Amino acid sequence: MVCKRCGAKLYECKTNSIDRTLALSLAGLILALPAMSLPIIGVGAVGLLNYSSLLECIHQLINNGYQGIALCIFLFTIAIPVVRLFAATYITWSIKFNRVTPALLNFFRSYHQLDSWTMLHVFLLGIVVSMYKLVDLAELHVGVGFIAFVSLLICSTTISVTLDHHLIWDRLEQSLDE
């Protein structure tokens, strides 16, 4: 996009934004289930080894009376990221296959609100700090869920980079003007 008055470049469209974002959001949706249900970390001490997944952690928090913390972890590491991935998939799918409706405009506005509420990186930081603190006290094992979780985080973060908001707004305006 070039300024009509001075000719300066205001922004440049991202290369293949819709296809990349669609692929990343689908990959993120595929990774979400193993990231949340497979063991993230295993802790061993005195000959006993205990693996735990994200869903098991939430379950344990609820059982131990920490419902507020369990709710926050569920919302910010499961619910909002998955809804955000579904939203990115729906938006890019609709634009790619010319299925744009007036409701998609409001849907895209809502998508912007979800962007700032995804806290996967904060949870990963908590895992890494916990591992650092426990490494001297117990035997640690990284589970397959940890790899899936990191991959999910990479997909989610990369969606923020590849999604071209200007292109989507332009496509939405064009289809609504027709």
Give me the mean pLDDT over the 68-74 stretch. 94
Q: Note the pLDDT tens digit of each residue in 5-40.
A: 888 887 777 889 999 999 999 999 999 999 999 998
pLDDT > 70: what percent of the chain?
99
Distances in Å between the Cα of 119 and the Cα atoms of 19, 71, 159 are 25, 13, 14
Q: Note the pLDDT tens digit of each residue in 127-155.
A: 888 878 777 877 888 889 999 999 999 99
Q: For residues 84, 86, 87 and 88, what is the CA-based torsion angle, rounded to 10 degrees? A: 90
Instruction: Give domain limits for the chain.
Output: 39-177
Under a CB-based contact definition with an 8 Å cutoff, are residues 107 and 90 in contact?
A: yes
pLDDT of residue 81: 92
pLDDT class of 178 with cuts at 50, 70, 90 = low
Is the overall model pTM greater than 0.85, yes or no? no
Distances in Å between the Cα of 8 and the Cα atoms of 12, 50, 68, 82 are 11, 59, 51, 39
pLDDT of residue 86: 94
Give me the mean pLDDT over the 60-78 stretch. 94
Examine the pLDDT at 117 and tell me if it is beyond 80: no
pLDDT of residue 159: 93
Q: Note the pLDDT tens digit of each residue in 80-106.
A: 999 999 999 999 999 999 888 878 888
